[in-house]
Each structure stands twice: as structure tokens, then as C-alpha cells.
Structure 1
Amino acid sequence: MNALKKAGNATNRFAKNWASFVIRYKWPVFIGTILLAFGLASQGKMEFDGDYHVFFSESNPELEAFDALQEKYTKDDNVILVLSPSNGDVFTRENLIAIEELTAEAWNTPYSSRVDAITNFQHTRADGDDLYVDDLSYETSLKTEAEIKEIRVTALKEPLLVNRIINEAGSVTAVNITVRLPGLDSAAEIPEVTKFTRDMIAAFKEKNPQFEVHSSGLVPLNTAFFESSQRDLMLTMVMLLIVIVTTLILTRSFFSTISTLVVVLFSIISAVGFVGIMGIKLTPPSAVFPTMVLTLAVADSIHILITMLQKMRKDGLGKKEALVESMRLNFMPVLITSLTTVIGFLTMNFGEVPPFWDLGNITAFGMTMAFLYSTTTLPALMAIFPVKVRQRDVEKEQKIGWYTKLGYFVSRQPARLTLISFTIIAVLAYMATRNVFNDEFINYFDETVDFRTDTDYISNNLTGIYNIEYSIGSGESGGINNPEYLQKLNEFEDWLNEQPEVVHVNAFSEVARRVNRSMHGDETAYYRVPDNRQEAAQFLLLYELSLPFGLDLNNQINVDKSETRVTVTIENISSAEMIAFSKRGEQWLKDNAPEAMQSLGVSPTLMFSKLGFRQAESMFKGNVFAIVLITLVLILALRSLRLGLLSIIPNVTPVLVGFGIWALYKGQINTGMVIVFGMTLGIIVDDTVHFMSKFLRARRELGYDARQAVVYAFETVGKALVTTTVVLLAGFAVLSTSSFALNSYMARITVIIITAALIIDFILLPSLLILISKKSEAVDEVKELQPQIQLNK
């Protein structure tokens, strides 16, 4: 006990000496922190990276498999333009002319390597022993009505077109632009492609107002990521205004508001400097760091300011004395809450998503600087400013406040409140297990984003955006002409088409069937894969020689003709269903094809589907580490093993409650929400530490019993906890308006968790503190507390 007391006295002496030092040298301290903040800010450089690849670490196995597939064939970054004529018929002369012109213009897209449309589809026909391969519709202005009708019939019977480039009704069509981005500077390359396509669409619509145009694809996806980052960065200004208003209302002090504003601005610009020093490129998840830092940095200042103002208003202390006493009371709790918040954010590095590593590291640095500024800049400014408050009169002071009443309420019935609390928590913890992962990247954006609405339209009216790809090997050079290989590939294509999720299958076996038919006088009986290897090889060579530049088979066949690419377009399905479908395809190949043909399904869609599961698995270790480390910190800080272990309950249960309520609200968890446990664990410890520190101060310094100490804690820290919670809720509520679901969903559940944390710290925590205290120390009647509640606040 003596050791604990000495440690406590040492902490108090340090805090008082530190506060006295800052107040005495207020101007040098203030100028020094200005130089530090702006020195860091001078290194700041905020660049954005919208490439979806940033969501995957270099060691991600799905990314490695997808990159390997693209090396064998061609990269398939694309922009798909979907055209819907007002008359509901693509196959009119006017509409086909417009599509033909747009297709020609699309070839001018920066980095374009291929353009696919109905007009330039390579249609095969035979004339004796000759094979002719031509655009399905060229020089459309010269076509007769009969020829246009024939084009319609041909297009709507072509498996490679229907549900991919044209819908079954012939009312909607697409122009698909494949681009090969150099990858040297995605921040410049993607906007370059986006600007060109947007200008092209605008010009096309001006000339052809009868068309409605929607765009999607991987390039628009990257653009949506890029633009979401910039939009979310602007939320900081909204949050800054909210912080100013909230702090002014709750502290009722203009100078306190100014001081808080300086602290959060210094913290943010320091974090910006860290971004530049570390060379971090911002992404939608990491771009919200200013809002995060701003929201969290306010909490440190609020606790110091409210205690100071209370001492001046209620106890009649002078400004300097009140500031020193506030620093003495809050230095250690602020240090501990800052440390635990930093630990919580650093656990993001355990995850699988690099943008969240950046968010965690930037915010952790920002919070470290926020602690520094709140214990230097803040008291220095408050010492400089002419802060004056009006003391409360005796009659008002004698009235029992709301927080005191709440303290009485809890202290009267700790056992009952504990039982009720644990019952509710248990029910919601069970509900939390009912949440399921779903990482559909289309749903990363809400319906205010054009990419989302355009993609939904395309999925409902033409083709799916999700796909899975298999690279089917033959085991030998030139083996794709082996009739056995072709037959098995044909069977796999047929099996895929039978699956209910499948919208379209693009496989080399379809090309082989079509060319075989054309080389046999277009007789329907020959619409099958060739049964002679030499014949198949000759047909393929003749077909490839007939294809124009840019429309070859390099996107389907590898260089030595030992493998072909099967692309399966599927409906918009959940992550779990996507993974299950991919495994079904892999299993079919294992059960029905030779070993050389067995392949893993890969695609960006599948990578995103698996990302949430990988993130959850990796973050589990990080969360366990955070719980253990934070608990150890609290044991040392509170100087009590029992209370340190007890703190696990109010620190962990809000997360269980939050995910339980989320199960009732939404029931789906995405990658962004997986980080919430570690992130909020560091945040909600704030309430626990401040409440328990005031409880212990009442016990150790004032000699109160457990129930008196609970009432004391409510009176001294209740308002500060409510104030910081309101600010946190405001910050995350602003962030919840983000159009990017990984951010908005994370913010929404954080709002729930922070609210639950305050309730638990006001109901369950004090009840537990009373129950675990020695019975001999408790008073029998709560009314005995009343004469003592005004002592030594």
C-alpha cells in the first residue's frame, strides 16, 4: 500500500510541477509548439491513390494469382459504356451508326488496347474453302433494312455477344474499352482515362440525345475510390465547425473553445506532416484521418478544461491554481487514454488491408501529438488568455445535480443493475454472432455515387459486373488444339452455363465451335469443337490471321497456346456466395478434368470477397494483443490488479453490444468494420480510465467508501465524459455520411459502440466497483452520503 501511495504521490508531484513549468514559461512553450507543429506541417504532402490494388498487400495470395493470370494474357482494366436508345431498339440504322462512331472514337482512349462492340464483333462466314472474318456491322450508313435485320438476327444468336455486349431483347448494348495502364503513376493515369471517357460520353450524348449512357468497369471503380477519398477529406471542415460549436456550448467559455481549436489544428497539421514524411498516399480509408484526429484530440482538452472551469466556478480557485489542479487530476488519465488509443489504432497493422495500416499509423501519430499539445499548448494558452468565470451561488450549489442523482441511483441498487446489464449484454452478444461478412465492392459506394447507380443499371439491364476467371492449362505447348482438351473445356463451359448465378461464359471452346462450323459451310451439325488436332490447329491459325489488329485472341490464349482463359460473368451475389461459386468451379475441374486443366478461380471481385474474411482472421490476433496490452497498462496506471482486470468488462462489452445492435440494424459486416474492435477499444477506455481514476482518488485521497466514491466520480467527471462522448458522436456521425461504405459503416457502428460505452460506464462499471469493494467499507444507507458530497471536489 505504501508503494502504491508513493507512486501516486510521485505522479501528482510530476503533474503539478509540469503544469507550473508550462504556466511559468507559457510564451516560450506556446511558441515552441507552434514551431513544432508548423515544422511538421511543412513536410506535409497529400497525394491520392485510387487504384483498387492498394487494398491488397503484396503477399495477398489472391492478388498474386490474379497478377499471374494477367501476365499470361492481357491486363483487363476496362471502361464499359452501356448505351440505351430511347426507342428500345439498338438495331436501327441511326443507332448503329452512332454506336459505330463511338466505337471508332473509343480507340483514342489513352492506353486503350482493345474495343469490343456489336458493330466490330468479328463475325465468321465461309465461302467454299475460304474463311471470312468481318465486322458485324461496318459502313452502316450504306446498309439496307434487310441487311440490318440480318445483323440483328446474327447478333442475338451469338453466345459471345448476348448478355455481354447486347441484352436478349436487343434494347441495350455496350462498348467495352480495355486499357493497359503502364502502372507508373496511377494518380495521373486513371484520371487521364476518366477525363477522356467523360468528355467522349458528353460529346456522344450531345450528338445523339436519343441515348442514355451508363459507365462502369475497373477504371471507373478506381475513379470512384479516388473521388471518395477527396470527398471524405472535406468532411473535416464540417466536423471542425461542429467541434467549435459543441465545445463552446458545453464549456460556455470562448477562450476554452479557442484553445481546443488550436490543439486540434496543431494535431491535424502534424499528422499531415507525418503523411508527407512517410510518403503515404491517401486512399478512401486513410483519407478520413483528419476527422479521426480532430474528433479524438478534442477529448484530451475537454477533460482538462472542464475540470479547470469546475474548480473556478464551484471551488472559487484562481485561474492558475485551478489549471494546476486540473493538470494534477487529469495528467495521468489523459496520458493513459492517449496511450490506449494509440495502441488501439496501431493494431490495425495486424490486418490485411494496407490503407487501414496507414489510417492506424497516421491517427496514432496524430493522437501522440494531441497529447503533447493538450499538456503544453492548451495550459499555456489558458494561462495567457484572461479567463474569467462566474462562481455559482450557494443556493444553486446546494441543489443536487443530475450527475449526483445518477450516482445515488446506481449506488442504491448495484446488484440489480449488474444483473440487468449482463442480461442485456448477453442477449446482444449472441445477436452479434448473427452478423455475416459481405464485401461486394459495388456496395462500397452509396447511391449518390454515379459508379454505384450506373453499375446497378448495367447489372439489371445487360450483364453482370462480377466475374471469376480460370486459366485452364493443357499441359503442353499448342495443347489447346488437342480434341480431348477442347472437349473437356466445352464440358466445363456447359457446366458453368447451367449454374443459376451465371450470366455469361466467355471460353475458347465457343470460338473453336464457331470456326469449325464456318469451315464446314456454316452447317449447324458442325457447331462443335473439332475432333481432329491438326484440323483444329489449322482452323485456329486461319482465324487468327483474319483478325484485325487489337481484336486478336491474346486476351484468351497464352503465347505458346498451352492455356486458355475462361471468364465467367455472374450476378451480383454476396461474398460468401462468390467464394462458394469459385470453389464449386475448382472442384468440378478436380473431379472431371485432368490435372493439367485444374485451376483456381481469380478476379478482383473474388479478391474483395475474400478480403473481409482475411482481415477478420488477421485482426483477431491484433485485438487479443490490444486487450492484453491495454489491460496491463491499466493495471499499472490504476496500481490495482483487481481493478485493471475489472476494466476488461466495460472496455470489451460495448463492442459486443454494438455488433449485436448492428445485427438487428443491418446484419452485414464489411472489411472496414473489422477494425472497429481494436479502434474503439482504445477510444472507449477513455471513459473507463477517467471514471475509475476519480473513483480511486476518492478512495485513496479522501477516504471515501465505495458508494461515496462512485457519487464523487459522477460529480467530478460525469459532465466531462458526456461532453467528450457528444463530441465523439458528432465526429463519427459526420463520418457516417461518407459515400464510401467502408468508412460510413465503420463510423455508424462506432457511434453505437461509443454510446453503449457511456451507458455501461455510467451503469455497469460503478455497480461492479461497489460490488467488488469490501462490504465493511460500504455504508448501509445512501442518505448518509449527502452530508459529504460537497467535500474536496
Structure 2
Amino acid sequence: MHKIFSFGFWNSIARLILRNRITIIVMIGVTTFLLSTQWKNMRFSYTEANLMPDDHDVNIKYTDFLNKFGEEGNLILLGVQDSALFTPEKFKAWNKLTDKLESYPEVDHIISPASLQELKKLEDPKRFEMQPALEEDPDSLQLKQFENKLFTELPFYENLVYSSHSNTIQSALYLNKELVNTKARKVFVLEELDPLINEFEEKYDIDVRVSGMPYIRTLNSQNIVDEIGLFILAALMVTSLIFFFFFRSVRATLISMFTVCIGVMWAFGVIGLLHYEITILTALIPPLIIVIGIPNCIFLINKYQQEIKKHGNQAKSLQRVITKVGNATLMTNVTTASGFATFILTDSQLLREFGVVASINILAIFVLSLLIIPVIYSYLKPPKDRHLKHLTKRWIGGFVNWMEKMVRHHRIAIYITSVALLAASIIGIYTIRISGSILEDMPQSTQFFKDVKFFEREFDGVMPLEILVDTKRPKGVLKLSTLKRIDELEQFIQDIPELSKPLSVTRLVKYSKQAYYNGNPKYYQLPTSQERNFIMPYAKNLGSQEGLMQSYVDSTGQYARITTFMQDVGTEKMESIEEDLIPQINKIFPEERYEVSLTGKALLFQKGTNYLVRNLIISLGLAIFLIALLMAWMFRSFRMILISLVPNLLPLLVTAGMMGFLGVPIKPSTILVFSIAFGISVDDTIHFLAKYRQELKANNWKIKRSVYAALRETGVSMFYTSIVLFFGFSVFMISSFGGTVALGGLVSATLLFAMLANLLLLPSLLLSLERSIANKNVLKEPAMKIIEEDESEPEQEEKVQSN
């Protein structure tokens, strides 16, 4: 019953396709056009990807912080390590540059040496006032005096305008908080800021370093955009060259390229239709569709050419392509899509979107392959003998003979090698580390990455780590006891090498005491209770000046903000810093009087990475379980499921071991490897086992003959597709992103191991365990025919051909 239904179903599909060729062409054309109209909805991410759900405790704390103080990642830094800047011509030019930048609506305000303000004490009436620290048109002597004063007498500006490590100075551009996460930021950075900086550098021969989270995010996202086209072109070029090498047919190559190009257009259309952002993950989908779509084309075209070579009847060949390969190709695409679809079940929006788009488009490329290839070939003349020569190439025959020889005579060697690899992999797995580094995956050859390292050396980091202090009462921040606690915590933070000198309201309070004592830097400290009474009359108007107070204390005076900048450290170091900070915070700020929380983009990314890694491990487990269920349904044999999982899990363990030995950390980009590779590699297992079962029935359940027949029949196609996948995924190694390079290299290696495991280990296991698995009770009639037998075909084929 299953057999009749399955065969009849695929014959109906064949008749439907071959009888409605014009309709199918029009439908594909209309669908492609409609999806192309959705391209305009594609948008590139202007914020960091949120790796955790909105209701996660870490996100709730961060949102609470933003509600009180606004966007914290709005700072762009311009750094110069050149004493020549303090010469009249160049200092004036720098002043002009910062004035020009401040005129843009995207820039809220700038703190720069050229426009530096100094806090002064005035007597009539008693007040503090911010006044220019330098005259408008200073001469060489005045600039020299100002440079000396800046580095020795103005500790308020340490790590804000000048470095405590050297004579490096910086200007801080605070972007408009309303515009920092919009397209306006990208336009400002790429079309205004960068050209102005380049012009200044060329004209005055001064090296300007640029960094800060908005700048890093903008250039990073632009690199992603630039690489999408590069990946697509490289994937098309590599796969077409390999395809042509195998088939030696320009026509077959062009048909396959046309098919996957339509698939890429559909992929962009689906992203636009769903209004998803282009992230570093969704940017991988178009080239993934090419790499996964080409094996479909190989199976279909290879079968068509085999049929033409066998009997020369084109109509019969096209019918058999659909009926005999359609089912197997459908199931392999379903298993691959299932591997990606498990990401949908995670709580991460980033992964969910990737899973939705990838799984939809993998099934779409299957449909396109099944429709386009038979329809186009039906209008073309049958291939000539020279196009079929690849089917009988000696080196392919030699490869098949080598596999058969290994399985027949060297099974013990195969098992010993497998066990040795497994043991070595387990050792390697124990050395793997988890990385939560924001910069690790970024292009390390770019200037903006080198600039990040420059600011880490000079200013101890660019990634903000925020501490929110809730005093639980209005105006509680400005109480001297609270200020002393904040100062004590800041002293502790300064002793952590990976963190910069903090910024908080205490700086302003210390500066007011220094100003009260006529600018003497030795008085840059918190006032005593008695001094506070003297200083208060002068400080009444201080909070309204230049927004200094509002940046670090909310309008009610209940909440204070302590900002420190962090070097790019991994997850382990970040957790160590957190473990040191939290007990100290609890000690300094009693829980009954204060509520203190850590937040900021640096912490958010580190927590998000850990969360994402956990979700990816769960999704891998789900992928293995889901695919095992699919295979249980297809083969209806529990023992066969266990045997089939061994050659697919071993390559994953080998790859994990390689990551440990090579020092490649577990991070979002590398953990993806396992789900992608497992979903693809299991396809070969399905092809092999389906053919093996068919051969068992044809050879009266004779194991050896069936295994070797299945190996010879499927080995060539498995080799072809694995090579295409290997080089196709290797394309990602041309990326400038470390994570994408690792993804490409690791998936390629895993798929190569998987091919060898499916061609050597799987048949060896079938032969060694023949007594327990090769009987009619174990291998029951499957729920679905993966590969159709030849019996009962003539009658069906006559109907197709008569149509």
C-alpha cells in the first residue's frame, strides 16, 4: 500500500510538472517578481543584536537604566598621540574640525581640548562657572602652558580628554540619543565624519584614531553589507567551477546556476517580506542557499544523464528524475531544513529569525530545483555522449573501488581510527573555552579594529560597563555618605586592570572643591562635612551647567550612574571581574539602604553570549532528536537509527576536539557549525540507507552484496555533493570576520569527516552487525519510499509519455 501510494504520488507530480511547463515557468516568474518587490523592506541592523529575550532579567535592568539615563552607547572618540597638535596652526585646525562636527544634528555636544571648559570660583554673587580654559587664538607659548596645565592641573579630565598613560589626547563626540540607533548615524559616520577626518589627516599629517561603540557598530555593519555580495559571487564561482569539473557541461552548469540564483532572489524576498534585519547570521543565508541548492541540482542532473545513457528516452528520463530522485531529495532537504528550524524553538530573536528564513528557503530551493531542471531539460535536446563521459571516469571508479576495498578488507583499521579520533576529540573538548568577546569576530585587519586596540592601551577600553545606584530616596545621591561610598567603589574599580578610571558625579564634586581652592589640584577630592557647608553656596547653580550633573544623576537625585570603560576581555575574565565587583558592591552599599545593579553593553553582550551558547546546545539536541524521529518514521527501525547516528555524531565530536586543540572558542558563530553540519551530513546517511534497503530486497536479503551495491550506487553522488559542500562552505573563509571564517572552515571540515564516516564507517557497521539488523523483522516496510524500485514502472511511464 505504501509503495503504490508513494510511486503513484510521485508519478502524479511528474505528470503535473511535465504537462504544465508554461504555467510553472509563469508562476516562478511571477513569484520571483513579487518577492523582488519586498527587497525594499530589507534593512540593516543599526543596533547590536539582542541575544536574549526582552523579559530576561539582564535586559530588564538594562532597559531600566536606559529609561533613566538614555542611550549609553552614544560616544565617539577621536584620539591623537602627537605633540605637534599643540602648535597654533594644527590646534586651530583641530578646533575648526570639532566645531564643524558639533554643527551636525547627529552630534549633541563635544568635549575637546580646543574648547575645554575650566571650573572657576566667582564671588559676586557666589557661584561656580565653567569658563574657557584657553583664549580664542592662542600663540605657541599659551598652547605649551595649556598642554602642561591639562596634564598636571586638571584631573577632572583624566581619561576623558587626556590619557593617564601618555600624552595622548582625545575629543569625545556625544551623539544625539534619539538618532544614535537610526540610519542617520550610519550616514553621519560614513558620509560626514570619515571624510572630514581623512581630509584633516592628509592636510596636517596627523594620525587621528577613531573609536567608540557607535563608530564600531557602523563600520562593522557596513562590512557585513559589503561581504554579502562577495559571498554570493564567490559561492557561485566556486560551485559552478566544481560543477563544471564534474559534469563537463556548460549547459548543465548554467541551468544549476540559474536555479540557485532564483533561490537567492527568493531568500532576499523572504527577508524583506518578514521585515527582518540583515544581521551577521541572516547575511549568511543567500550563499548558504547556493551551497545547499547545488547538491540538489547534482542529484537531479546526474540521474537524468544516467537515464539518458541507459535508454536514451528523454520523456522517460525526465519522468524518472522526478519519481526516483524527488522523494530522496525531498527528505534530505527536510532533514537539512529541520536542522535549521530547531533555532526557531530558542528564546533568542537573532536565532529565531535565522532559523525561519533558512528553513523556508532550503525547502524553497528544493521546489525550485524540482520544477526548473526537468522543465528546462524538456525543451532542450538530450545530452550528447561527451556530456555523459563523467559517468564512467576512471578516477571515480578508482575512488569507489578504494572505498569498497577499505570496507571489505580493513574494517578493523576503520574502527581503530574511529575510536582513536573519538578519544583524541574528547581530550580536545575539555580544553574548549567560551568567548564573549565583542571584538573577537570583527575584521582584525581593518583600521577601526586597530584603533580600538589603541584606545584600550591609552584609555583602558571603549566598551561601557555601567553601575546603577538606587539610593531609595530623592536627592539621596548628593548626600556626603553616598558620595563617599561611590568614591570607595571607584577606587576599587581603578585597581582592576581591565577597567578604566570611572566617571560619575564624584568627579564634579571633587572638581568643585578644587575650584573652591582656586584650582589647586591637590584639593581634587571629596569635601569634608565642614567644607561642604562652605562650598554649597557656590555650587547651587552647578547642576544646570553644561549638563554635567544630568549625565550622572537623574532628575530626582535618587539614582546615580557610575560609568567605566572595559577592555575587550573574554567571558571567563568578565565573569571573574563580576565575581570581584559584586561582593565589594554589597559590602560598600548595604542592601537595606541601596540597590545597585551592573549593566551596560559590555555586560549585556557577555551575558547574551552565554545565553546564546546554551540555546544553541539545546537546538543541536533538538536537531538530533527531530532528525532521529524523521529517520524512525522513514525506516521504522530503532537499531537502524542508532547505527545511522554514529557516523553523523562522530564528525561533530571530531570537530569539537579540533576546536579545543586549535584554540577556537565556543561562541555564537562556531556553535552554529554543529547544527548546520549535522542537518546536512545526515542527508548522505538517508541516501545510503535507502539504497541499502532497496538492494536488500532486490538481493534476497544478502548483506554483503547489498552493502557493496549501495556503496557503488550512492558513493559517487555523495562524493560529488560533499566536495561541492566542502568548497562551498570554504568560501566563508574569505570573510574578514573571524567568526564567519571559523564557521566556514569548521563546517567544511565536519562535512568532509561526515562523508568519510558515511562511506566507510556506516557500511562497516552494517556488515559487522549484519546478524542483528539484516532481517525482515528489523527492517520493516518503511513509512515512505525514499528510492523507488523499477518494478511496476512501465505502465506508469507509458501514461506520462503519452501525455
TM-score by length of 2: 0.88
1:360 aligns with 2:355: yes
| Counterpart selection for 1:689 from 658, 679, 686 | 686
**Aligned positions of 1:357-506 closer than 5 A:** 357-390=352-385, 401-506=398-503
Equivalent residues of 1:471, 1:599 under 8 A apart? yes
Task: Give 1:524 shift.
Answer: 6.5
Distance 1:45 1:769, change over 3 A: farther
Task: Give 1:21 shift.
Answer: 4.3
Match of 2:646 in 1: 649
SS of match in other structure, 2:207: strand
Match of 1:350 in 2: 345
Equivalent residues of 1:118, 1:165 under 8 A apart? yes
Stretch moving more, 603-612 or 731-740: 731-740
1:222 aligns with 2:226: no
User: In the aligned structure 2, how far is the partner of 1:421 from the partner of 1:127?
Assistant: 82
User: In the aligned structure 2, how far is the partner of 1:186 from the partner of 1:730?
Assistant: 38
| Counterpart selection for 1:231 from 214, 226, 238 | 226
User: In the aligned structure 1, how far is the partner of 2:536 from the partner of 2:747?
Assistant: 58
Q: Match of 1:342, as an amino acid?
A: A
Stretch moving more, 601-610 or 168-177: 168-177
Task: Give 1:758 shift.
Answer: 1.0
Equivalent residues of 1:589, 1:597 under 8 A apart? no
User: In the aligned structure 2, how far is the partner of 1:186 from the partner of 1:560?
Assistant: 29
Distance 1:598 1:98, change over 3 A: farther
Equivalent residues of 1:512, 1:536 under 8 A apart? no
User: In the aligned structure 1, how far is the partner of 2:473 from the partner of 2:142?
Assistant: 47
Match of 2:795 in 1: none
Deviations 1:415-456 (A, max 9, x none): 441232133123213312322121321223112433212212
User: In the aligned structure 1, how far is the partner of 2:333 from the partner of 2:534?
Assistant: 72
Task: Give 1:772 shift.
Answer: 2.1
Q: Match of 1:14, as an amino acid?
A: F
Task: Give 1:584 shift.
Answer: 2.1
**Aligned positions of 1:59-78 closer than 5 A:** 59-78=55-74
1:673 aligns with 2:661: no
User: In the aligned structure 1, how far is the partner of 2:196 from the partner of 2:207?
Assistant: 14
| Counterpart selection for 1:242 from 231, 234, 238 | 238
Deviations 1:125-181 (A, max 9, x none): 446795554456333523562673254234345444333421236532111111124
User: In the aligned structure 2, how far is the partner of 1:397 from the partner of 1:250?
Assistant: 13
Stretch moving more, 30-39 or 594-603: 30-39
User: In the aligned structure 1, how far is the partner of 2:394 from the partner of 2:287?
Assistant: 38
User: In the aligned structure 2, how far is the partner of 1:572 from the partner of 1:68?
Assistant: 25
Equivalent residues of 2:342, 2:619 under 8 A apart? yes
Q: Match of 2:13, as an amino acid?
A: W
User: In the aligned structure 1, how far is the partner of 2:144 from the partner of 2:113?
Assistant: 12
Equivalent residues of 1:84, 1:172 under 8 A apart? yes
Deviations 1:470-517 (A, max 9, x none): 012323211122221122111111111122323322232232223123
User: In the aligned structure 2, how far is the partner of 1:565 from the partner of 1:287?
Assistant: 37
Deviations 1:170-199 (A, max 9, x none): 532111111124259723443235422123
| Counterpart selection for 1:101 from 78, 82, 96 | 96
User: In the aligned structure 2, how far is the partner of 1:376 from the partner of 1:695?
Assistant: 28
Deviations 1:582-608 (A, max 9, x none): 342222111232224342211111111
Q: Match of 1:766, as an amino acid?
A: P
Q: Match of 2:475, as an amino acid?
A: G
Distance 1:777 1:104, change over 3 A: closer
Match of 1:333 in 2: 328
Deviations 1:65-86 (A, max 9, x none): 2232132224333343433355
1:122 aligns with 2:122: no
Equivalent residues of 2:48, 2:217 under 8 A apart? no
Deviations 1:292-316 (A, max 9, x none): 1111111112112223323434x34
Equivalent residues of 1:312, 1:389 under 8 A apart? no
1:139 aligns with 2:140: no
Equivalent residues of 2:726, 2:748 under 8 A apart? yes
Task: Give 1:611 shift.
Answer: 1.7
User: In the aligned structure 1, how far is the partner of 2:481 from the partner of 2:390?
Assistant: 97
Match of 2:261 in 1: 265
Q: Match of 2:603, as an amino acid?
A: L
1:515 aligns with 2:518: no
Deviations 1:539-564 (A, max 9, x none): 46744735786452211111111222
Distance 1:513 1:28, change over 3 A: closer
Distance 1:399 1:446, change over 3 A: closer
How many residue pairs are counted as aligned between the two chains? 772
Distance 1:181 1:491, change over 3 A: closer
SS of match in other structure, 1:229: helix
SS of match in other structure, 1:506: coil
Task: Give 1:614 shift.
Answer: 0.2
| Counterpart selection for 2:78 from 79, 82, 88 | 82
User: In the aligned structure 2, how far is the partner of 1:396 from the partner of 1:108?
Assistant: 70
Distance 1:156 1:459, change over 3 A: farther
Distance 1:525 1:370, change over 3 A: closer
Deviations 1:19-75 (A, max 9, x none): 354334444434443333334334443533232333344334333322321322243
Distance 1:607 1:365, change over 3 A: same
User: In the aligned structure 1, how far is the partner of 2:43 from the partner of 2:482?
Assistant: 46
Equivalent residues of 1:30, 1:381 under 8 A apart? no
Distance 1:604 1:754, change over 3 A: same
* Identical-pair percentage: 17
Distance 1:346 1:777, change over 3 A: closer
Task: Give 1:574 shift.
Answer: 1.5
Equivalent residues of 1:52, 1:225 under 8 A apart? no
**Aligned positions of 1:543-554 closer than 5 A:** 543=539, 545=541, 550-554=546-550
Q: Match of 1:604, as an amino acid?
A: K
Stretch moving more, 108-117 or 148-157: 148-157
1:305 aligns with 2:301: yes
Distance 1:748 1:140, change over 3 A: farther
Equivalent residues of 2:471, 2:595 under 8 A apart? no
SS of match in other structure, 1:245: helix
Deviations 1:590-644 (A, max 9, x none): 1232224342211111111122210122223322222111111112223433212
SS of match in other structure, 2:555: coil
Equivalent residues of 1:84, 1:212 under 8 A apart? yes
User: In the aligned structure 2, how far is the partner of 1:568 from the partner of 1:183?
Assistant: 23
SS of match in other structure, 1:113: strand
Task: Give 1:331 shift.
Answer: 2.2
Match of 2:597 in 1: 600
Distance 1:20 1:147, change over 3 A: closer
Stretch moving more, 17-26 or 193-202: 17-26
SS of match in other structure, 1:58: coil
SS of match in other structure, 1:214: strand
User: In the aligned structure 2, how far is the partner of 1:511 from the partner of 1:675?
Assistant: 47
Q: Match of 1:722, as an amino acid?
A: F
1:179 aligns with 2:175: yes
Q: Match of 1:297, as an amino acid?
A: G
Match of 2:555 in 1: 559
Stretch moving more, 104-113 or 621-630: 104-113
Structure 2, unpaired ranges of 5+:
776-788, 792-803
| Counterpart selection for 1:638 from 635, 638, 651 | 635
User: In the aligned structure 1, how far is the partner of 2:565 from the partner of 2:392?
Assistant: 75
Task: Give 1:245 shift.
Answer: 2.1
1:729 aligns with 2:726: yes
Task: Give 1:333 shift.
Answer: 1.9
Task: Give 1:396 shift.
Answer: 8.1
1:700 aligns with 2:683: no
